[in-house]
Amino acid sequence: MTQLKEKLLSSFIAFEDQKDIDSYVHGIRTKAIKTFEKEGFPTKKLENWKYTSLKKTLNYDYKLFPSETKALEFKDIKKYLIDDVESYKIIFVDGKYSSHLSETTHDGMDICILSSALNQSKYDLLIENYFDKISKKDGITSLNTAFSSEGSFIHIPKNVQVDKPIQVIYFSTGKNESVFYQPRNLIIVGENSQVEIIERHQSLSENSVLVNSVSEIYCNVRSEVKHYKIQNDKTNASLIDNTFVSQERNSDYSLHTFSLGGELTRNNLSIIQNGERIESTINGITIIGSNQHVDHNTLIHHKKPNCNSYQDYKGIFGDNSVGVFNGQVMVEKEAQKTNAFQANNNVLTSDKATINTKPQLEIFADDVKCSHGCTVGQLDQNALFYLRSRGIPEKEATALMMYGFANKVLGSVGITQVKTRINQIIAKKLGVKIGFDI
């Protein structure tokens, strides 16, 4: 851990050397590396990291900039795309933008890459107004900020309904080395605009991969953003996903996180409601086994009156896996007439699996409706017997019930093809061939 930290600190100078040191971002990066130096990596001593240790994950000898990259063809990545729907694609391979696999646009909006936004003066104002404005200044986020140079840049101006979903996918191919990436996304959605984004990190490598991703998402007045995170990486890949969302009045942000793979996955999600009549919906399905570890750390911050938030996280944990849900809802004094609902339901399918859940409500306003419910249990044995007595084999019956358990969350997915894909992944995960109808 200390070793990696030292390595990161000493690499920073070399990294910054290649950049324009007069740029606005240079100052931010320099400040960020200092924060990281001070804060370091999070440890279990921090209340928010009580149940997740990065010790093992940080113990690999990561390269910070991959020395070799493999050229990928469309056929290599096809199965990781939602390929049966028209979409914009921003594809990165080993931290570098891959133009021949991507499909971007500057036609009436910018669906492109962060490096070009950082390097072109016409974007200066946007960068100054939005870059690193809502991200948390903790160690792990600051680390990303210090090394932020590439990622997706999505800027949708006023009154635009983006015609097709945007897929943002990061691949890593590193053959003989472990790599630590710091991708950075900046998404600005203008007034009254609508967009759908699908995000994924995928390792194609046999070696350990650690991704520390930061996304800043701005939802302006009356905008609507539908966001999907598909986390189904190899078991040698870990992800720390830091997503910061800032919403203005009447905006609607929804996120579905499907955590179905990876070694260690930590989702830090923070949503701040800055205006009235905002809707925020965050849903998750987590199905893991072996020694996998998934930690959802969410915050919904209600600052203004008449807003709603809905959270629904379902988890199924097998083998030696560990699940964590730490969901915080904060309602400020001014935020009267807030409706905040939070549900976290878990099923353990193995005696060695663990679930730690901590749904928190912090309420400073009196005229609110807030509730949370959380359950831990196993599948209903009577129902299982019922299915089997109807001729459904145990494995399929179990799968069907697990599917039924998670189904409510899938039901709210807007893109049919995403729904189908998640269904397939879940079926595969549960080792069954049956198709699940929705």
Q: Which residues pair with 301 in a beta bridge?
A: 272, 330
Smallest gap from Cβ 46 to another protein, in A, equals 12
The least CB distance from residue 408 to another protein, in Å, is 17
Residue 398 Cβ, how far from another protein at the closest point, in Å? 13
Pick from 101, 146, 225, 355: which binds another protein (CB under 8 A)? 355
* Contact between 98 and another protein per CB under 8 A: no
**For another protein, which is the closer residue by CB, 237 or 355?**
355
Q: Which stretch binds another protein (CB under 8 A): 33-41, 200-208, 260-268, 371-379?
A: 371-379
Q: Which stretch binds another protein (CB under 8 A): 32-40, 74-82, 348-356, 408-416?
A: 348-356
Does position 374 interact with another protein (CB under 8 A)? The reply is: yes
Written as six digits, the tokens of 124 are 């200066």
Cβ proximity to another protein: between 22 and 47 the closer is 47
Q: Which of 100, 120, 128, 373 binds another protein (CB under 8 A)?
A: 373
Q: Which of 58, 221, 365, 427 binds another protein (CB under 8 A)?
A: 365
Please report whether residue 366 would count as binding another protein according to CB under 8 A: yes
Residue span binding another protein (CB under 8 A) among the ranges 190-198, 282-290, 370-378, 413-421: 370-378
**Of residues 40 and 359, the one with the C-beta less far from another protein:** 359
Closer Cβ to another protein, 358 or 388, answer by number: 358
| Binding flag, residue 349, another protein (CB under 8 A) | yes
The reply to whether 371 sits near another protein by the rule CB under 8 A is yes
Look at strands 369-377 and 339-348 and give their pairing: parallel
| 363 touches another protein (CB under 8 A) | yes
372 binds another protein (CB under 8 A): yes
Count the site residues for another protein by CB under 8 A.
Answer: 36
Count of other CB atoms within 10 angstroms of residue 65: 15
Check residue 35 for interaction with another protein (CB under 8 A).
no
Nearest-angstrom CA–CA distance, 176 and 139: 28
Give me the phi and psi of 405, to 5 degrees please: -65, -40
Task: Give the CA distances from residue 190 to residues 132, 137, 237, 414, in Å, rounded to whole numbers and listed in that order.
Answer: 18, 25, 34, 21
**42 to 81: interface string for another protein, x by CB under 8 A:** -----x---x------------------------------
Q: Which residues, 6 or more positions from 170, have their beta carbon under 8 angstroms from its beta carbon? A: 92, 95, 181, 183, 200, 201, 202, 211, 213
290 interacts with another protein by CB under 8 A: no
Least distance in Å: CB of 406 to another protein? 17
Place of tokens 């629904």: 312
Closer CB to another protein, 374 or 427, in the complex: 374
Q: Which stretch binds another protein (CB under 8 A): 25-33, 255-263, 352-360, 397-405?
A: 352-360
By CB under 8 A, what part of segment 376-405 binds another protein?
A: 376-378
Least distance from another protein to the Cβ atom of residue 394, Å? 16
Whichever of 30 and 371 has its CB closer to another protein, that residue is 371
Q: Which of 368, 399, 406, 413 is close enough to bind another protein by CB under 8 A?
A: 368
The residues binding another protein (CB under 8 A) are 47, 51, 333, 336, 346, 348-378
